[in-house]
Amino acid sequence: MAVRIIELRERVMARNDQLAADVRQVLTDAEVTAFNLVSSPGAGKTALLERTLETLGEELDIAVVTGDVQTQNDADRLARRTDRLVQAVVTGGACHLDASQITEAVKAIDLDHTRLLFIENVGNLVCPAAWDLGEAAKIVVFSVTEGEDKPLKYPAVFSRSRYAVLNKVDLLPHLEFDVPTAIANAHRVNPELRFFLTSAVTGEGLAEWFDFLRSQVRPAAIW
């Protein structure tokens, strides 16, 4: 048998990154700002989105793509607050969304009437970091019940996010969590990371989060 060695320099992520670039172009052309929300399970992505949709869903023409793995729970919760929800096709056990799923999901969204798009990734701080979905920025959500060293344990997702939401701050009186230490740890990994401190339960800190989102979208058209 003749075996030949074919030398290559083929990037393993090349196909995903090309699809993501195509998604980014479509969203840019439509002037839709897309955020990819990543977090560990239970940090409060869905609760944060619920509060955001309640207050800004109509004002900012928000659409949502969600990628819950095994259940309809997140989709059902969000569907009570918006009719602009698209479920990504996620096969059981998948640990992240990829750009091909977003390509399909974006086709189902009326981009002319969308100014802000949230992609709620699968709850996982490791895998989603590697997949570009065509978003304007990743937003990492973590909570004060998780430990100040989370950014050091999961540097990839913190270094590839532009914004961080530290959620559940209403629980701080009951915990030994030190907010400045957590923020310092995150800034060791990514000095540019901008923080929002929120409680999706009490509403603390949400006004700043909402103002930030308002600043990120194109002006509303006059219909």
Partner 1 sequence: MHEFSLAQEVCRLAEEVLEREQGVAVRGIGVAVGPEAGVELESFRFCLEALLLDPPFTGARAELLPAPGDTLRLTFVEVDDGRPDH
Q: Which of 10, 12, 15 is nearest to 100 (CA)?
A: 15
Of residues 2-61, those binding partner 1 (CB under 8 A): 2-13, 15-16
Selected from 26, 137, 156, 179, the binder of partner 1 by CB under 8 A is 156
Minimal distance in Å, beta carbon 192 to partner 1? 17
User: Does the footprint of partner 1 cover residue 74 (CB under 8 A)?
Assistant: no
Minimal distance in Å, beta carbon 128 to partner 1? 8
Other CB atoms closer than 10 Å to residue 141's CB: what's the count? 29
The smaller minimum CB distance to partner 1, of residues 8 and 222, is found at 8
Torsion sign over Cα 45, 48, 52, 57? positive
Q: Which of 60, 64, 36 is nearest to 50 (CA)?
A: 64
Q: Which of 146, 147, 138, 136 is nearest to 190 (CA)?
A: 138
Can you tell me which residue has the tokens 């700002």?
Answer: 33
Q: Which of 17, 52, 199, 45 is nearest to 124 (CA)?
A: 45
Minimal distance in Å, beta carbon 2 to partner 1? 5
User: Does the footprint of partner 1 cover residue 107 (CB under 8 A)?
Assistant: no
The smaller minimum CB distance to partner 1, of residues 22 and 204, is found at 22
Selected from 106, 129, 141, 166, the binder of partner 1 by CB under 8 A is 129
| Cβ proximity of 41 and 122 under 8 Å | no
Gyration radius (Cα) of the chain, Å: 18
Q: Which of 144, 143, 142, 141 is nearest to 176 (CA)?
A: 144
DSSP 8-state assignment for residue 169? G
Minimal distance in Å, beta carbon 100 to partner 1? 11
> By rule CB under 8 A, what string of x and - marks binding of each residue 81-100 to partner 1?
--------------xx-x--
Minimal distance in Å, beta carbon 13 to partner 1? 6
Residues written for the chain? 223
User: Does the footprint of partner 1 cover residue 189 (CB under 8 A)?
Assistant: no
Minimal distance in Å, beta carbon 70 to partner 1? 15
User: Does the footprint of partner 1 cover residue 158 (CB under 8 A)?
Assistant: no
Selected from 35, 118, 131, 209, the binder of partner 1 by CB under 8 A is 131
Q: Which residues bind partner 1 (CB under 8 A)?
A: 1-13, 15-16, 95-96, 98, 126-127, 129-131, 156
